[in-house]
Amino acid sequence: MQISDVSLRRSFTSRGDATIEATVKVGSIEATVTAPAGASTGEYEALHLPSGGYDSVLKSFKKGMLLGIDPLNFKDVSDALKKMDGTSNFSQIGGSTSFAISVASAVAGARASNMQFFETFHLKHQMPFPIGNVLGGGKHAGPGSPDIQEFLSCPVGAKSVFEAVSANIAVHHEVLKQIEKRDPTFAGGKGDEGAWAANIKDEDAIELVRSSIDAVSKQLGIRIIMGLDLAASTFYQNGVYNYSRKGKKLTSEEQLGYVENIIKKYDLKYIEDPFDEEDFEMFSRLTKSVNVMVIGDDIFVTDTKRLRKGISMRAGNGVILKVNQVGTLYDAELFAEEAEGAGFMVIASHRSGDTCDPYLAHIAVGVGAVLMKSGVVGGERISKLMELSKINDDNPQIALWRPII
Ligand code: PGA
Ligand code: ZN
């Protein structure tokens, strides 16, 4: 089986970011994949697009380097893309091009072999729970919204992915009701990932989401845990955490105390990026002091080298995996393998600017993720959630993650 053709087109993400769509052909079978794009991007991520955009991508794109390769050989496809680009961060062809070709190759290869895409991964499969943001702030919403980027809900007591997705949607609706109660003038605005974007301060927002989750959990009789993605690098400036929207600046030490306090006070079970992406030390201290999921996104950027440092310092106990941060499925799979080998949990994640492609669900199951982070509503989020639900229904032999928190 060989890649017989590859073509590129211009496209857009759900936020309207320019991006790349790739079609890979394997004989008469083909697959088309469009790359997502982040807003709170880590410093060390692959570059989404070179400054010259699509025209510049086309100048560096050499289709011939991919022809003849086995589309299911993640390594060979990855090596060819790296050779074609020639830089360490895909600054010539763009991480978007690399992502789209890498995923489209595997999807086309799976189709040509009558396999499901998730079966082409080499790690132990697992059915993750969906985790999604029901209230948003930071770089995903406007100035009146919280400094904290994401307020997350995860129904770990659900018996199926469908039940979990339904529960998250119920929380989404409950959050709206509670926002409207506080602020009758709320116009129903949403942030980039479909979470409500309300004029509310961090702690009021945590309280509101806590009470919404508790109400739905009680009503449905399902355990639902709450989490936050602080995306703290986005407001770490000149050595302090600048909560500009609430007019407060915290030193690193104060930030640690603040995070420990809200974990305890609001019974949070999931904390993502509570510190700046360079502060491995603080990640490590928090992981020692609390018994919750401490997850690194911008700190690791799906990069195995940065992860090794994190593992050696126990800087967290889980990682976000975003294939477009590193550029290829091969490198993402190595990252997951390294994480799982060290006992770190893997959370497969969407981006704030995403597409209606459903493939994240297969990536999540394929790498044995414990959670799939992909929002709650919006076409580009629902496509992944319903694909995960379908995989769950069609493959009862793949067990749902059993939460350890
Ligand atoms: P991004 O944010 O896709 O805008 O980078 C998502 C996240 O931080 O988890
Ligand atoms: Zn994040």
Task: Give per-residue pLDDT as tens, 99-123.
Answer: 999 999 999 999 999 999 999 999 9
- Helix ranges (H only) for 69-160 are 74-85, 95-112
Residue written as tokens 């209230």? 135
**What is the rounded distance in angstroms from the CA atom of residue 68 to the CA atom of residue 81?**
14
Give the ligand whose atoms come closest to the C-alpha of residue 352. 1
pLDDT average, residue stretch 52-65: 98
CA 40–ligand 2 middle distance (angstroms): 7
Q: How far, in Å, from the CA of 41 to the mean position of ligand 1? A: 6
Tell me which ligand sits closest to the C-alpha of residue 350. 1
Q: In angstroms, rounded to a whole number, what is the distance separating the alpha carbons of residues 17 and 219?
A: 39
Query: Known catalytic residue: 193?
Result: yes
For the stretch 175-195, pLDDT in tens is 999 999 999 999 999 999 999
Beta bridge partners of 227: 152, 270
CATH of 5-114, one of 3.40.50.10800, 3.60.20.10, 3.30.390.10, 3.30.70.20: 3.30.390.10
CA-to-CA distance for 336 and 305, rounded, in angstroms? 12
Query: Ligand 1 site: residues with CB under 6 angstroms?
Result: 38-41, 229, 231, 297, 349, 351-352
Question: What does DSSP assign to residue 127?
Answer: B
Please give the sequence-ordered ranges of beta strands (E in DSSP) within 177-303, or none if there are none.
Answer: 225-229, 236-237, 240-243, 248-250, 270-272, 293-296
Check if 5-114 and 129-394 are the same fold: no
Which of 9, 34, 3 is closest to 353 using CA atoms? 34
Structure confidence at residue 43 as a pLDDT band (50, 70, 90): confident
Catalytic residue of the set 322, 337, 373, 387: 322
Provide the residue ranges of all domains of the chain, joining segments of one domain with +: 5-114, 129-394
Q: Are 131 and 152 in contact (CB under 8 A)?
A: yes
Does pLDDT of 246 surpass 80? no
* Nearest CA-CA partner of 80 in 65, 97, 60: 65
Confidence category of residue 247, pLDDT binned at 50, 70, 90? confident
336-365: per-residue pLDDT in tens? 999 999 999 999 999 999 999 999 999 999
The DSSP secondary structure of 159-209, one letter per residue, reads SSHHHHHHHHHHHHHHHHHHHHHH-TT----B-TTS-B--S--HHHHHHHH
pTM for the model: 0.98
pLDDT higher at 140 or 355: 355
What does the pLDDT read at residue 142? Answer: 87
Confidence of residue 63 (pLDDT cuts 50, 70, 90): very high
What is the CA(375)–ligand 1 centre distance, in A? 11
- Which entry of 174, 193, 277, 340 is annotated as an active-site residue? 193
For residue 239, CA distances in Å to 202, 232, 251, 255, 301 come to 21, 12, 7, 11, 21
In this predicted structure, the answer to whether residue 2 has a pLDDT above a threshold of 80 is yes
- Is 322 assigned a catalytic role? yes
Task: Specify the CATH number of the domain 129-394.
Answer: 3.20.20.120
